[in-house]
Amino acid sequence: MRTTIIVVALVAAAAIGASVSGQQPGSPLMGAWRVAEVSDANGTITNPQPGLYIFTRQHYSFTRIQGTRPLPEYPSNDKATDADKVAVFNALYMNTGTYTVSGNRLHTVATVAKSKFAIGGAGNQYDFAITGSTLTLTQRPSGAVIKLTRLE
């Protein structure tokens, strides 16, 4: 009987501690991931420009420089030409919001994005696989594949 009470007390203490600290079991996606490879209808980029995907318990943030070239030069907002601004805008991909996971399906819904059409609505769906420190996201229905390497 005493052992049962001690076990129950320890389980309750652990549950309260997790609740107080905000820690709950999360998705295997949780953490920071560096973009390592991008494949789409235009081909495969094996040495992409910088990109960072972050997953918390309920939220995500995707940011990357698209293509193979570094971010274009940009002197400052007050000195940049319209062409400078367009070049930088076209090079960036930014999307952040909430996500859910069901099996190996990731569903994202943007609350902030570079383009208004990406905010809200049906969101995006990906199939995902994690092998070691590599996360592979396959967007549905386009089939575009993004491979990421875990940073933390």
| 77-112 pLDDT per residue, tens | 899 999 999 999 999 999 999 999 999 999 999 999
Alpha carbons 146 and 126: distance in angstroms, whole number: 10
CATH of domain 26-150: 2.40.128.280
Is residue 9 pLDDT above 50, yes or no? no
Q: Specify whether the CB–CB gap between 127 and 9 falls below 8 A.
A: no
Residue 75 gets the label, from left (phi > 0), alpha (psi -120 to 50) or beta, of alpha
Q: Specify whether the CB–CB gap between 126 and 105 falls below 8 A.
A: yes
Return the minimum-mean-pLDDT range out of 9-13, 20-24, 58-62, 144-148.
Answer: 9-13
Q: Specify whether the CB–CB gap between 100 and 126 falls below 8 A.
A: no
Alpha carbons 15 and 9: distance in angstroms, whole number: 10
Q: Specify whether the CB–CB gap between 108 and 95 falls below 8 A.
A: yes
Q: What percent of the chain has pLDDT over 90?
A: 72
Q: Give the DSSP H or E segment for 35.
A: strand 31-40
Tell me the whole-structure pTM to 2 decimals. Answer: 0.80
Is residue 19 pLDDT above 70, yes or no? no
The residue to which tokens 């383009």 are assigned: 115
